[in-house]
Structure 1
Amino acid sequence: TFNHPEETAFASDVAADVAGEAHVHRAIQPVMGGEDFSYMLEARPGAFIFIGNGDTAGLHNPAYDFNDEVIPHGMS
């Protein structure tokens, strides 16, 4: 997935407004997650971003527990 620079900057700025700059990691290494989202980014500019949800087991771990309190932050 290749994020478009302008849309990535916009999403990062919004995240900093919502969560605080200290909680936004702007320079991360590329990852393979969201590879199917690449097809959407071929059609329209955009950005695939991650939103943390606290200290829990990883997403595909049976002990994973989604933190519902992050929903308003993600919607912002």
Structure 2
Amino acid sequence: MDADKTTIERAFELARSGDCRRVGDIVARLDREEYDGRQIHGRVLRKQLADLIKETKVRARDAAGSRNAGKDAEP
């Protein structure tokens, strides 16, 4: 636990990290890191985190696709 970081700040970091696939994973991780996962409640906050997780997945997939795009081309 980083004493200078709030639970909400850490939740958004985890959502952007790509390490968590669902909001429930973020809550579990926060609890393991000794943050208060119970603070992750409310429809709007959970939707923001879920959208960020989704966006992170899309970016990772797009980045992987652009790295692999040139591998199939013939010289």
Structure label with greater radius of gyration: 2
TM-score by length of 1: 0.29
- Greater per-residue helix proportion: 2
TM-score by length of 2: 0.29
